Structure formats: C-alpha cells, structure tokens
Structure 1
Amino acid sequence: MLINNGESDAQLALRAAQAGADVVRAMYGGSLARFEKSAGDFATAADLAAEKAILEVLRSARPDDAVTGEESGSTGAEAAPRRWLVDPLCGTLNYAVRNMLVGVNVALRVGDEITAAATADPFSGEGFWTDGHRARVRHDGTDEELAPSPDSRLVDVNLDPPFPNAPGFQAVKLMADPGFGQRFRPRVVSTTLAVAWVAAGRRAAYVTDGDLRDSVHFSAGIALCRAAGCTVTGIDGRPVHTGAGGLIAAADAETHAALLAMAEDQMRQQA
C-alpha cells in the first residue's frame, strides 16, 4: 500500500469519503437543483459538490492516480494501474426527499484488487474503512474492528435496475421465497451503506443483481465485507465479478448458503 507524506491509501480513502460526507450533511434539507441523467435517475447539487470535495482530496494527495467519479466520469489513463472509484452520494433519491439513509463511497483499485476503501455515513458520523486486510469503523476519532453477525436476520435486497439476469434471477422474487420469510426479514434501504452494515454486523446479508466490476457504488462495500471475513460471491456462488455477476454478501457461510440456494432454485425454475 502506498504511503505518501505519512498517509496510507486507506487513510486517504477515509479522509476523502469524510470530506464528501461533510458536504452531504451541510447541504441536507435545502432546496437542491436536480440534474437528469437518464430515465428515473438524477443527481442533485449535493452529489456534484460532494464529488468535487472528494476529488480535490484525492488529486492533491495522489495526482498521478486515475479516478472514476459517478458524476464526472473517468480521468487519467484508461489502463492506469491505480484507479479511485468515487460515489459521492449513494442514495440520492433518499436524500432528495429528506431521508438520511445515504452513504459516501471511495475505493482504490490497484491492478485487479480493491486495496483500500471507505464508506462514510454523513449523519451518524461513522466512517467504515479497510486497507484490504482489516475492516474498522471510525467514530469520534476512535477505531473499532468490524464484526459481522447473522443474528439480526435482516437481509437488504437491492430492487433498483438494471436486472441483467432477469427473468432467471430477480431479487424481488427472492423475498417471495417461503424459505426467505421463515428465516430472514427483508429490508430495502436503497443505499449501499447497507453493504457496510453487513461487515459491521447490522445486517445478516445484502443481495443485488448487476455487473459490479469497477462499480463506484459497490466496490467499497465489497472490500469492507471481504476484509471483515464475510462470505462474498456472485448470485451463482462464483467469485464476485465472474459468472452471472451480482452479489451475495453474508455475515457467515450458513446465511450465504441459504440465500445462494434460494437464488439457484429461482434460476433453475426459469431455465
């Protein structure tokens, strides 16, 4: 891991995410301009301002690194070995209607691996971070190791498009599986902050469809879950970013096996 002027990549990821979170918190509740991106998707002035703050931190500390921002796109060499992935406000629709369920994601990909990442919660003040080996949460200047747990039985399911594996797999149908209702309780918070919650023991699992390679939304949460010791695969049980894609991130192997069996049964029925 690169250390420059005494600051590691992981420390930089957390500092950048917290800079974005400061902007998100400061702009909350105000009248925000909206910028349409595609049907049903938009950014607010807070998304843009938070991304600007994050990029200023990253470019000042690591000027030679490439960056992909959700709002500003990619800068730097396409094949750059070091690339920062920035999601300045995950949960924009929540935020726009004055719902505080949002997160700020910053991750660094070096080669094929995410080697540092952070997810900041603007409203709790927590910053979840990893150096690729350990996962911690920082609050009021104190770090605590993340400890995944299935005890809540709460499983967050992402219902936002795209759905590349439909009709073979649809996350909404997972919640209709009788086995799901017997064992778990569904939650839909519509922000990838919930992926960090799996690493922190506040969710038993998180499930989504989609191609998540170099995802500004999911890369930080996946890295946090892996470093915390969660069981993390695609929806078909293969390594993340291979096979059918998607994500099943579970606090333990038993929870993962149960959700994987439901997903595989759904896909078999549609075959």
Structure 2
Amino acid sequence: MTTPITLPISTSGTKAIDVAWLCARAAGDLALSRFRGHHDIDVKGHRNIVTNTDVEAELRVKAILAAEFPDHKILSEETAYDTDATSGWTWVIDPIDGTKNYAIGLPFWCTNVALCLDAEPVVGLTYDAVHGEGFWAVAGEGAFCNADRIAASDKDDVFSSVISIDLGYDDAMGLRQLDLMRSIFPRVQGIRITGSAALGLAYAACGRIDLYTHMNVSPWDVAAGILLVREAGGVATDRDGAPMRIASSHFAAGGRRVHADFMARYAVAQGGHT
C-alpha cells in the first residue's frame, strides 16, 4: 500500500473519492447510453480517434470538478499542453479510455478519474459502465471493485501467468512490444490484448490477469491504475525498474513475483536472447 495522506474536501463537503464517483458516473453513464449507436468520429492521428461523446463526457466531468474543487488543476487529453501536473492538486481524467473499442462496439472501455498530489496518484477510479464495475483506491486504504477488496496476482512466475498487453499508436513501440511477446509467448499461459490501458491495470490490480504491460501511454491512461495496482499489493514500474509515475510511457504492472520474473526476462529479451 501507499502512505495515507489528508485529502481535500470539496466545496459541497464531499470526499474526493465520492467526487471521483460523481465524475465517473456522469461520463460513463453518458457513454453507455450511446454505446453501439451512431458516433461522430474525428481522426486525431494514426489509429487515434475521438468521438463526440468523448468530448461531451469530458465537459461534464470538468464542470463537476470546477464546481467541487475550483482551485484544483485538471489534466486531460485535450488540455495536456497547458496543464502542469507536476505540482499541487491535479485531477487526471479520461472520459472514455479505449475509444476505438467504444466506437466499434467492443465492450471493453472505461472512464478514468484520478486525483494526484505533486504528480503522485492518491485517489483513483476506473469505472466500467458496461459491466457495472468500479475499481477504486484511496492512498493507504486498499483497492476495491465496488464493495469488494481486491488483490493482485500471487503467481510465482511468467510460466504460470496470463499477460495482457496493448500496442498503442506508435508503430515502432508496437513492433517492439510484439517482438518482446514473441520471445515470452512460449513461456506463458496466454497473452491478451485489452484495448484499454486503464482496464488492463484494473484487471492486473484484481488478479484477473497476472501482469499488464504497455510501451506507449499517457498520464490520463494510467494515473488511476498505478494507485489501484499498488493498493492491491502489486508492483508498477517502468521498464527500467524504477517506480512508475504518471509520466511513465512504458511500464509493467502486476503481482510482485510475476513482475520480478517478467522484468528479468524482459532484460534478457532486450539483450537479444530468448
């Protein structure tokens, strides 16, 4: 677990985690009401799209946060270039993580809401509206799925594990990820592609998968999940083994023993061996 801290109370007297739930439900339930319907889609880059619902859901979340915590900063995909999340209280949000899944009708997308202090997540919530699951954590208080406490995998090694990955938008990083999986695949029970970094981390936190790894993410993809994994007793580091931060673009997260085994094999694979 992480160290407990004193969390701010909103202008309405609401706890930060309860405000996170308000935000997540506002965005997630809007998205769910339009799921598998018509979407106006804009192409932001190679493999990177945004729907009209992403935009509307983000506005709803920002309105709640502006009313409840007017002095806090907000970091989202659309404001990434004018928000400094390295100091003070900052909400890091993604109204729909897994937009491609959402747009094509695959039921693996979620809403991500995290509160950070000096770039360290202290409140995190990943809300899967499709399946009615909210994965949440408060620093020092453990991790939960709805009302049930969760724990990361207790598997001993990669050989006994199911690993989940995502490839991201960058061709070079995606191909490196595939090369790594090619070297590890003969030694694992299975490999899954989630299509949502936030769900990948949530599933690692609750032990549905044993380890999740990615090479190309942004803070709004992972801020909540970092806290979830650590509060669930797991480990989240960058691929160099340093503690994962919200600015870490490449990482591995999961149960402690399988994470250690994966990192050892990752170092070998990077050295050109299998």
Q: TM-score range by the shorter chain?
A: 0.7 to 0.9
SS of match in other structure, 1:25: helix
Q: Could you tell me which residue of structure 1 aligns to residue 138 of structure 2?
A: 131
> CA offset at residue 255 of structure 1?
0.5
> Which residue type is aligned with residue 256 of structure 1?
H
Match of 1:172 among 178, 200, 203: 178
> CA offset at residue 262 of structure 1?
1.9
What percentage of residue pairs aligned between the two structures are identical? 26
Relative distance call for 1:187 and 1:124 in structure 2 (3 A) is same
Cα separation, 2, equivalents of 1:175 and 1:76: 35
TM-score computed with the length of structure 2 as normaliser: 0.86
Aligned residue-pair number: 260
Q: Could you tell me which residue of structure 1 aligns to residue 164 of structure 2?
A: 156
Relative distance call for 1:173 and 1:78 in structure 2 (3 A) is closer
Higher helix share: 2
Cα separation, 2, equivalents of 1:43 and 1:223: 26
Q: Could you tell me which residue of structure 2 aligns to residue 198 of structure 1?
A: 204
| 1:20–1:53 contact (8 Å) kept in structure 2 | yes
Match of 1:51 among 42, 46, 58: 58
Aligned ranges 1:1-271 → 2 under 5 Å? 1-4=7-10, 5-73=12-80, 81-133=88-140, 134-138=142-146, 143-150=147-154, 153-162=161-170, 170-177=176-183, 179-192=184-197, 193-210=199-216, 212=218, 215-241=219-245, 246-251=250-255, 253-269=256-272
Cα separation, 1, equivalents of 2:246 and 2:79: 27
| 2:26–2:61 contact (8 Å) kept in structure 1 | yes
Cα separation, 1, equivalents of 2:174 and 2:99: 25
Cα separation, 2, equivalents of 1:49 and 1:164: 32
Relative distance call for 1:137 and 1:74 in structure 2 (3 A) is farther
| 1:117–1:224 contact (8 Å) kept in structure 2 | yes
Cα RMSD after superposing both structures: 2.5
> CA offset at residue 45 of structure 1?
1.0
Cα separation, 2, equivalents of 1:149 and 1:166: 25
Q: Could you tell me which residue of structure 1 aligns to residue 3 of structure 2?
A: none
> Which residue type is aligned with residue 168 of structure 2?
D
Cα separation, 1, equivalents of 2:248 and 2:86: 25
> CA offset at residue 32 of structure 1?
0.7
> CA offset at residue 198 of structure 1?
0.8
> Which residue type is aligned with residue 272 of structure 2?
Q
Q: Which runs of 5+ in 2 are unaligned?
A: 1-6
> CA offset at residue 174 of structure 1?
2.1
Cα separation, 2, equivalents of 1:108 and 1:242: 11
> Which residue type is aligned with residue 162 of structure 2?
L
SS of match in other structure, 1:30: coil
> Which residue type is aligned with residue 265 of structure 2?
M
Cα separation, 1, equivalents of 2:71 and 2:26: 20
Q: Which runs of 5+ in 1 are unaligned?
A: none
> CA offset at residue 36 of structure 1?
2.0
Cα separation, 2, equivalents of 1:204 and 1:116: 23
Relative distance call for 1:246 and 1:51 in structure 2 (3 A) is same
| 1:165–1:244 contact (8 Å) kept in structure 2 | no
